[in-house]
Protein backbone atom coordinates (compact mmCIF):
# COMPACT_ATOMS: atom_id res chain seq x y z
CA UNK A 1 0.00 0.00 0.00
CA UNK A 2 1.30 3.44 -0.94
CA UNK A 3 1.49 5.92 1.93
CA UNK A 4 1.24 9.67 1.26
CA UNK A 5 4.61 10.59 2.84
CA UNK A 6 6.48 7.47 1.79
CA UNK A 7 10.11 8.34 1.00
CA UNK A 8 10.22 11.39 3.29
CA UNK A 9 13.00 10.98 5.88
CA UNK A 10 12.67 12.82 9.18
CA UNK A 11 15.26 13.26 11.93
CA UNK A 12 13.42 13.91 15.19
CA UNK A 13 15.47 15.53 17.96
CA UNK A 14 12.41 16.56 19.98
CA UNK A 15 11.68 15.29 23.48
CA UNK A 16 8.42 16.50 25.01
CA UNK A 17 4.87 16.32 23.69
CA UNK A 18 4.70 18.80 20.75
CA UNK A 19 7.58 17.37 18.68
CA UNK A 20 6.74 13.68 19.13
CA UNK A 21 3.10 14.46 18.35
CA UNK A 22 4.17 16.26 15.18
CA UNK A 23 6.36 13.38 14.01
CA UNK A 24 3.70 10.81 14.98
CA UNK A 25 1.38 12.50 12.50
CA UNK A 26 4.07 12.42 9.80
CA UNK A 27 4.94 8.82 10.64
CA UNK A 28 1.32 7.69 10.48
CA UNK A 29 1.22 9.12 6.95
CA UNK A 30 4.28 7.15 5.90
CA UNK A 31 7.34 9.26 6.70
CA UNK A 32 10.46 7.44 7.94
CA UNK A 33 11.00 8.89 11.42
CA UNK A 34 14.40 8.42 13.04
CA UNK A 35 14.49 9.66 16.62
CA UNK A 36 17.87 11.12 17.58
CA UNK A 37 18.06 10.65 21.34
CA UNK A 38 20.68 11.27 23.99
CA UNK A 39 23.54 8.89 24.64
CA UNK A 40 25.25 8.46 27.97
CA UNK A 41 24.11 9.70 31.35
CA UNK A 42 21.77 12.57 32.08
CA UNK A 43 23.29 14.92 34.65
CA UNK A 44 22.49 18.32 36.16
CA UNK A 45 18.97 19.52 36.89
CA UNK A 46 17.19 16.75 35.00
CA UNK A 47 19.14 14.11 36.87
CA UNK A 48 18.33 15.82 40.17
CA UNK A 49 14.66 15.75 39.25
CA UNK A 50 14.93 12.00 38.66
CA UNK A 51 16.70 11.53 41.99
CA UNK A 52 20.27 11.22 40.76
CA UNK A 53 22.24 10.55 37.57
CA UNK A 54 20.16 8.38 35.27
CA UNK A 55 20.97 6.50 32.10
CA UNK A 56 19.81 7.90 28.78
CA UNK A 57 16.96 9.80 29.05
CA UNK A 58 14.39 11.76 27.36
CA UNK A 59 11.22 10.17 28.40
CA UNK A 60 11.73 6.41 28.06
CA UNK A 61 14.58 3.95 28.24
CA UNK A 62 12.52 0.97 27.14
CA UNK A 63 9.96 0.45 24.44
CA UNK A 64 6.39 1.26 25.46
CA UNK A 65 3.96 -0.33 22.99
CA UNK A 66 1.08 1.69 24.45
CA UNK A 67 2.72 5.03 23.62
CA UNK A 68 1.13 6.17 20.37
CA UNK A 69 3.43 9.18 20.08
CA UNK A 70 6.41 6.85 19.57
CA UNK A 71 4.90 4.54 16.95
CA UNK A 72 6.25 4.27 13.41
CA UNK A 73 9.68 5.47 14.57
CA UNK A 74 13.22 4.16 14.90
CA UNK A 75 15.74 5.34 17.49
CA UNK A 76 19.44 6.11 17.50
CA UNK A 77 21.27 7.53 20.52
CA UNK A 78 23.93 10.17 19.83
CA UNK A 79 25.88 12.40 22.17
CA UNK A 80 25.82 15.50 19.99
CA UNK A 81 28.42 17.17 22.20
CA UNK A 82 30.95 14.66 20.82
CA UNK A 83 32.49 15.50 17.40
CA UNK A 84 32.16 11.87 16.28
CA UNK A 85 28.43 11.89 17.01
CA UNK A 86 27.91 15.21 15.23
CA UNK A 87 29.64 13.76 12.19
CA UNK A 88 27.16 10.88 12.22
CA UNK A 89 24.30 13.35 12.48
CA UNK A 90 25.67 15.38 9.57
CA UNK A 91 25.78 12.23 7.42
CA UNK A 92 22.16 11.55 8.28
CA UNK A 93 21.17 15.13 7.44
CA UNK A 94 22.66 14.86 3.97
CA UNK A 95 20.22 12.06 3.17
CA UNK A 96 17.17 13.45 5.04
CA UNK A 97 14.28 15.74 4.20
CA UNK A 98 13.21 17.12 7.57
CA UNK A 99 14.72 17.86 10.97
CA UNK A 100 12.42 18.47 13.95
CA UNK A 101 13.58 19.88 17.28
CA UNK A 102 12.03 21.46 20.36
CA UNK A 103 14.97 22.96 22.22
CA UNK A 104 15.17 26.45 23.65
CA UNK A 105 16.41 28.89 20.96
CA UNK A 106 20.19 28.86 20.77
CA UNK A 107 20.66 25.29 22.02
CA UNK A 108 21.07 23.68 18.62
CA UNK A 109 23.49 26.40 17.53
CA UNK A 110 25.71 25.58 20.51
CA UNK A 111 25.55 21.92 19.51
CA UNK A 112 26.32 22.70 15.88
CA UNK A 113 23.03 21.27 14.56
CA UNK A 114 21.11 24.50 13.86
CA UNK A 115 19.38 25.33 10.57
CA UNK A 116 22.17 27.57 9.30
CA UNK A 117 24.72 24.79 9.75
CA UNK A 118 22.57 21.99 8.39
CA UNK A 119 21.28 23.91 5.36
CA UNK A 120 24.89 24.23 4.16
CA UNK A 121 25.13 20.44 4.20
CA UNK A 122 21.77 19.93 2.52
CA UNK A 123 20.04 22.88 0.84
CA UNK A 124 16.81 20.85 0.61
CA UNK A 125 16.55 20.25 4.35
CA UNK A 126 13.37 21.45 6.06
CA UNK A 127 14.13 22.40 9.65
CA UNK A 128 11.18 22.65 12.05
CA UNK A 129 11.79 24.20 15.46
CA UNK A 130 8.84 23.93 17.87
CA UNK A 131 9.12 26.24 20.87
CA UNK A 132 6.83 28.05 23.27
CA UNK A 133 7.29 31.56 21.88
CA UNK A 134 9.20 31.10 18.63
CA UNK A 135 12.70 32.10 17.58
CA UNK A 136 12.17 35.87 17.85
CA UNK A 137 10.74 38.40 20.28
CA UNK A 138 11.46 39.32 23.92
CA UNK A 139 10.10 35.99 25.26
CA UNK A 140 11.91 33.70 22.80
CA UNK A 141 14.16 32.27 25.54
CA UNK A 142 11.56 32.34 28.31
CA UNK A 143 10.92 28.91 29.84
CA UNK A 144 7.38 27.65 29.96
CA UNK A 145 4.80 24.92 29.53
CA UNK A 146 1.37 24.68 27.92
CA UNK A 147 -0.30 26.64 30.74
CA UNK A 148 2.07 29.57 30.14
CA UNK A 149 1.74 29.60 26.34
CA UNK A 150 -2.07 29.60 26.43
CA UNK A 151 -1.89 32.38 29.02
CA UNK A 152 0.20 34.64 26.78
CA UNK A 153 -2.01 33.75 23.80
CA UNK A 154 -5.12 34.98 25.63
CA UNK A 155 -6.83 31.58 25.63
CA UNK A 156 -6.63 30.68 29.32
CA UNK A 157 -8.28 33.94 30.32
CA UNK A 158 -11.38 33.00 28.32
CA UNK A 159 -11.88 29.49 29.75
CA UNK A 160 -13.82 28.95 32.94
CA UNK A 161 -17.15 29.36 34.69
CA UNK A 162 -18.88 32.62 35.47
CA UNK A 163 -17.30 34.29 38.48
CA UNK A 164 -14.57 31.67 38.74
CA UNK A 165 -10.87 31.59 37.96
CA UNK A 166 -9.56 30.37 34.59
CA UNK A 167 -9.81 26.61 34.10
CA UNK A 168 -6.77 24.74 32.74
CA UNK A 169 -7.78 22.63 29.68
CA UNK A 170 -5.10 19.95 30.22
CA UNK A 171 -2.26 20.49 27.70
CA UNK A 172 -4.25 20.03 24.51
CA UNK A 173 -4.23 23.57 23.20
CA UNK A 174 -0.56 24.58 23.12
CA UNK A 175 1.36 21.30 23.14
CA UNK A 176 -0.73 19.28 20.74
CA UNK A 177 -2.80 21.72 18.66
CA UNK A 178 -0.59 24.83 18.77
CA UNK A 179 2.67 22.89 18.55
CA UNK A 180 2.30 19.35 17.23
CA UNK A 181 -0.42 19.83 14.63
CA UNK A 182 0.86 23.20 13.43
CA UNK A 183 4.37 21.74 13.22
CA UNK A 184 3.15 18.96 10.94
CA UNK A 185 1.16 21.49 8.89
CA UNK A 186 4.20 23.75 8.50
CA UNK A 187 6.40 20.84 7.44
CA UNK A 188 3.89 19.65 4.85
CA UNK A 189 3.64 23.17 3.44
CA UNK A 190 7.44 23.37 3.23
CA UNK A 191 7.58 20.02 1.41
CA UNK A 192 5.13 21.33 -1.19
CA UNK A 193 7.10 24.59 -1.48
CA UNK A 194 10.32 22.61 -2.01
CA UNK A 195 8.75 20.87 -4.99
CA UNK A 196 8.44 24.33 -6.57
CA UNK A 197 11.69 25.97 -5.44
CA UNK A 198 14.04 23.04 -4.94
CA UNK A 199 15.04 24.48 -1.56
CA UNK A 200 14.26 23.64 2.02
CA UNK A 201 13.56 26.24 4.67
CA UNK A 202 13.20 26.99 8.36
CA UNK A 203 9.78 26.32 9.89
CA UNK A 204 9.50 28.40 13.08
CA UNK A 205 6.60 27.06 15.17
CA UNK A 206 5.58 28.99 18.28
CA UNK A 207 2.97 27.29 20.44
CA UNK A 208 1.73 30.72 21.50
CA UNK A 209 1.25 31.65 17.83
CA UNK A 210 -0.58 28.39 17.19
CA UNK A 211 -3.01 28.96 20.05
CA UNK A 212 -3.74 32.49 18.82
CA UNK A 213 -4.50 31.06 15.38
CA UNK A 214 -6.96 28.65 17.00
CA UNK A 215 -8.65 31.73 18.44
CA UNK A 216 -8.91 33.41 15.03
CA UNK A 217 -12.69 33.72 15.06
CA UNK A 218 -12.83 34.93 18.66
CA UNK A 219 -10.12 37.51 18.03
CA UNK A 220 -11.87 38.69 14.88
CA UNK A 221 -14.99 39.39 16.92
CA UNK A 222 -12.99 41.25 19.54
CA UNK A 223 -11.12 43.37 16.99
CA UNK A 224 -14.44 44.42 15.49
CA UNK A 225 -16.35 45.10 18.73
CA UNK A 226 -13.47 45.82 21.17
CA UNK A 227 -15.62 44.11 23.77
CA UNK A 228 -14.60 41.26 26.09
CA UNK A 229 -17.17 38.77 27.37
CA UNK A 230 -16.33 37.74 30.95
CA UNK A 231 -15.59 34.05 31.47
CA UNK A 232 -18.72 31.93 31.31
CA UNK A 233 -20.83 34.79 29.95
CA UNK A 234 -20.60 34.28 26.20
CA UNK A 235 -22.79 32.11 24.02
CA UNK A 236 -20.07 29.47 23.60
CA UNK A 237 -18.95 29.23 27.23
CA UNK A 238 -22.15 28.17 28.98
CA UNK A 239 -23.92 31.48 29.48
CA UNK A 240 -27.06 30.20 27.77
CA UNK A 241 -28.89 27.19 29.24
CA UNK A 242 -29.21 25.64 25.78
CA UNK A 243 -25.41 25.52 25.37
CA UNK A 244 -24.25 23.89 28.57
CA UNK A 245 -23.45 20.65 30.38
CA UNK A 246 -25.96 18.94 32.69
CA UNK A 247 -25.71 16.15 35.24
CA UNK A 248 -28.11 13.27 34.72
CA UNK A 249 -29.78 10.84 37.12
CA UNK A 250 -26.88 8.38 36.99
CA UNK A 251 -24.28 11.03 37.84
CA UNK A 252 -23.02 11.16 34.26
CA UNK A 253 -23.08 14.31 32.16
CA UNK A 254 -24.60 15.31 28.86
CA UNK A 255 -23.75 18.32 26.68
CA UNK A 256 -26.29 20.45 24.86
CA UNK A 257 -25.27 22.74 21.99
CA UNK A 258 -28.60 23.98 20.60
CA UNK A 259 -27.44 27.41 19.41
CA UNK A 260 -29.69 27.80 16.38
CA UNK A 261 -33.34 28.82 17.00
CA UNK A 262 -34.78 25.61 15.52
CA UNK A 263 -32.54 23.41 17.67
CA UNK A 264 -33.42 25.49 20.72
CA UNK A 265 -37.13 25.14 19.97
CA UNK A 266 -36.78 21.35 19.67
CA UNK A 267 -34.97 21.27 23.02
CA UNK A 268 -37.72 23.25 24.75
CA UNK A 269 -40.33 20.86 23.40
CA UNK A 270 -38.32 17.85 24.57
CA UNK A 271 -38.02 19.46 28.01
CA UNK A 272 -41.80 19.88 28.14
CA UNK A 273 -41.71 23.69 28.11
CA UNK A 274 -42.73 24.98 24.70
CA UNK A 275 -43.46 28.30 26.41
CA UNK A 276 -39.69 28.84 26.72
CA UNK A 277 -39.25 29.05 22.92
CA UNK A 278 -39.74 32.86 22.66
CA UNK A 279 -37.08 33.34 25.36
CA UNK A 280 -34.04 31.98 23.50
CA UNK A 281 -31.99 35.08 24.33
CA UNK A 282 -33.34 35.57 27.83
CA UNK A 283 -31.17 37.12 30.51
CA UNK A 284 -31.41 37.47 34.26
CA UNK A 285 -34.04 35.57 36.18
CA UNK A 286 -35.76 34.17 33.10
CA UNK A 287 -32.53 32.66 31.85
CA UNK A 288 -31.92 31.05 35.23
CA UNK A 289 -35.49 29.77 35.34
CA UNK A 290 -34.90 27.97 32.04
CA UNK A 291 -31.55 26.60 33.21
CA UNK A 292 -33.05 25.34 36.49
CA UNK A 293 -35.85 23.56 34.64
CA UNK A 294 -33.41 21.92 32.24
CA UNK A 295 -31.26 20.82 35.18
CA UNK A 296 -34.26 19.22 36.93
CA UNK A 297 -35.34 17.45 33.77
CA UNK A 298 -31.92 15.98 33.08
CA UNK A 299 -31.80 14.66 36.65
CA UNK A 300 -34.91 12.59 35.91
CA UNK A 301 -33.22 10.13 33.53
CA UNK A 302 -29.80 8.62 32.91
CA UNK A 303 -27.37 10.11 30.42
CA UNK A 304 -27.67 7.42 27.77
CA UNK A 305 -31.47 7.44 27.99
CA UNK A 306 -31.51 11.18 27.47
CA UNK A 307 -29.14 10.88 24.52
CA UNK A 308 -31.36 8.27 22.87
CA UNK A 309 -34.37 10.55 23.28
CA UNK A 310 -32.81 13.84 22.22
CA UNK A 311 -30.71 12.52 19.34
CA UNK A 312 -33.88 11.39 17.63
CA UNK A 313 -35.43 14.88 17.73
CA UNK A 314 -32.82 16.98 15.85
CA UNK A 315 -31.16 18.42 18.95
CA UNK A 316 -27.43 19.07 19.36
CA UNK A 317 -26.60 16.61 22.10
CA UNK A 318 -23.67 14.39 23.11
CA UNK A 319 -22.56 12.06 25.86
CA UNK A 320 -19.79 13.51 28.01
CA UNK A 321 -17.65 10.39 27.87
CA UNK A 322 -14.95 9.37 30.27
CA UNK A 323 -11.77 7.89 28.80
CA UNK A 324 -12.90 4.47 29.98
CA UNK A 325 -15.95 4.66 27.70
CA UNK A 326 -14.33 5.58 24.42
CA UNK A 327 -13.47 2.07 23.21
CA UNK A 328 -17.16 1.15 23.15
CA UNK A 329 -18.48 4.50 21.93
CA UNK A 330 -20.37 3.86 18.64
CA UNK A 331 -18.93 6.76 16.63
CA UNK A 332 -15.39 6.13 17.90
CA UNK A 333 -15.68 2.49 16.82
CA UNK A 334 -17.16 3.40 13.44
CA UNK A 335 -14.30 5.84 12.76
CA UNK A 336 -11.59 3.40 13.98
CA UNK A 337 -10.29 5.96 16.47
CA UNK A 338 -9.25 3.19 18.84
CA UNK A 339 -7.23 0.59 16.99
CA UNK A 340 -5.75 -2.69 18.17
CA UNK A 341 -2.23 -3.72 17.25
CA UNK A 342 -0.76 -7.20 17.61
CA UNK A 343 2.21 -7.31 19.98
CA UNK A 344 4.38 -10.46 20.02
CA UNK A 345 4.19 -10.90 23.81
CA UNK A 346 1.46 -8.57 25.10
CA UNK A 347 -1.28 -9.48 22.65
CA UNK A 348 -3.71 -6.82 21.46
CA UNK A 349 -2.51 -3.29 22.26
CA UNK A 350 -5.04 -0.44 22.03
CA UNK A 351 -3.90 2.89 20.65
CA UNK A 352 -5.54 6.04 19.35
CA UNK A 353 -6.39 5.76 15.66
CA UNK A 354 -5.33 7.89 12.70
CA UNK A 355 -7.43 11.04 12.31
CA UNK A 356 -6.88 12.09 8.66
CA UNK A 357 -8.92 9.63 6.61
CA UNK A 358 -7.43 9.60 3.10
CA UNK A 359 -9.47 7.58 0.61
CA UNK A 360 -6.63 6.43 -1.70
CA UNK A 361 -3.50 6.58 0.47
CA UNK A 362 -4.58 6.15 4.10
CA UNK A 363 -2.12 6.27 6.96
CA UNK A 364 -0.94 3.17 8.75
CA UNK A 365 0.61 2.13 12.06
CA UNK A 366 3.53 -0.03 10.98
CA UNK A 367 5.49 -0.47 14.20
CA UNK A 368 5.42 0.09 17.93
CA UNK A 369 7.62 2.74 19.54
CA UNK A 370 11.27 1.70 19.88
CA UNK A 371 13.50 1.52 22.91
CA UNK A 372 16.04 4.32 23.08
CA UNK A 373 18.93 3.43 20.78
CA UNK A 374 17.23 0.29 19.49
CA UNK A 375 18.31 1.01 15.91
CA UNK A 376 21.70 2.62 16.54
CA UNK A 377 23.75 -0.24 15.14
CA UNK A 378 21.53 -0.68 12.09
CA UNK A 379 21.61 3.01 11.24
CA UNK A 380 25.39 3.20 11.63
CA UNK A 381 25.90 0.12 9.47
CA UNK A 382 23.70 1.79 6.85
CA UNK A 383 26.08 4.75 6.92
CA UNK A 384 29.02 2.45 6.31
CA UNK A 385 30.40 2.03 9.84
CA UNK A 386 32.06 -1.29 10.60
CA UNK A 387 31.36 -3.27 13.82
CA UNK A 388 34.74 -2.31 15.26
CA UNK A 389 34.10 1.37 14.57
CA UNK A 390 30.68 1.17 16.21
CA UNK A 391 32.17 -0.50 19.27
CA UNK A 392 34.77 2.25 19.50
CA UNK A 393 32.10 4.97 19.24
CA UNK A 394 30.08 3.29 21.96
CA UNK A 395 33.10 2.94 24.20
CA UNK A 396 33.83 6.67 23.78
CA UNK A 397 30.22 7.54 24.74
CA UNK A 398 29.44 9.07 21.34
CA UNK A 399 26.61 6.62 20.68
CA UNK A 400 24.44 4.21 22.64
Predicted confidence (pLDDT) per residue in 85-110, tens digit: 999 999 999 999 999 999 999 999 99
Catalytic annotation on 343? no
HSE of 302, CA atoms in CB hemisphere, 13 A: 4
pLDDT value at position 191? 98
Work out the pLDDT band at 1, boundaries 50, 70, 90. confident
Percent of the chain residues past pLDDT 90, beyond the cut: 91
Helix, strand or coil, per DSSP, at residue 360 = coil
Please list the residues that pair with 98 across neighbouring strands: 10, 126
Q: What spatial distance separates the first Cα and last Cα of the chain, rounded to whole Å?
A: 34
Pick the CATH number of 9-214+336-395 from 2.170.8.10, 3.40.50.10540, 3.40.50.10580, 1.10.3720.10: 3.40.50.10540
| Predicted confidence (pLDDT) per residue in 332-387, tens digit | 999 999 999 999 999 999 999 999 999 999 999 999 999 999 999 999 999 999 99
Taken as a whole, the chain contains a residue count of 400
- Whether 351 and 365 have beta carbons less than 8 Å apart is answered as yes
* Distance (Å, whole) CA 325 – CA 322: 5
According to DSSP, residue 250 is labeled T
Does the pLDDT value for residue 61 go beyond 80?
no
Degrees, nearest 5: CA angle 114-120-124? 95
Mapping DSSP onto H, E and C, the string for 171-214 reads CHHHHHHHHHHHHHHHHHHHHHHHHHHCCCCEEEEEHHHHHHHH
| Mean pLDDT along residues 147-165 | 95
pLDDT value at position 229? 87
Helix, strand or coil, per DSSP, at residue 245 = strand
* Distance (Å, whole) CA 113 – CA 123: 14
Query: How crowded is residue 272: how many other Cβ atoms within 10 Å of its Cβ?
Result: 10
* Distance (Å, whole) CA 98 – CA 188: 10
For residue 59, CA distances in Å to 20, 72, 232 come to 11, 17, 37
**Domain segments of the chain: what residues?**
9-214+336-395, 243-328
Work out whether the CA dihedral 100, 105, 106, 110 comes out positive or negative.
Answer: negative
Catalytic annotation on 314? no
Q: What is the CATH superfamily name and number for domain 243-328? A: formyl-coa transferase, domain 3 (3.30.1540.10)
Q: Name every residue whose Cβ is closer than 8 Å to that of residue 204 and which is 6 or more positions away in sequence.
A: 129, 134, 135, 136
Does the pLDDT value for residue 224 go beyond 60?
yes
pLDDT value at position 379? 98
Name the active-site residue from 114, 146, 175, 204: 175
Name the active-site residue from 145, 279, 293, 375: 145
pLDDT value at position 200? 98
pLDDT value at position 122? 98
Closest CA to 33 of 55, 60, 13, 4: 13
Amino acid sequence: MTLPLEGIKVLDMSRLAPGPHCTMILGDLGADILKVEEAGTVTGRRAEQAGGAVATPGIRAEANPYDALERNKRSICLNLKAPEAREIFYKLVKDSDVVVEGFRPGTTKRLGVDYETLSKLNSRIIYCAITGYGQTGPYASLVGHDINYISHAGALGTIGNKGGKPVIPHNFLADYAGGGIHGALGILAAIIARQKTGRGQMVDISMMDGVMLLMGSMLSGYFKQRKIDPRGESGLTGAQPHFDVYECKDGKYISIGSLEPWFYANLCRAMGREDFIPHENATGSKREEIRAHFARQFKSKGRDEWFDILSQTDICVAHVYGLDELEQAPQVKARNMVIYLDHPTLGKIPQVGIAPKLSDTPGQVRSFGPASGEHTDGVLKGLGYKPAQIAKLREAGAVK
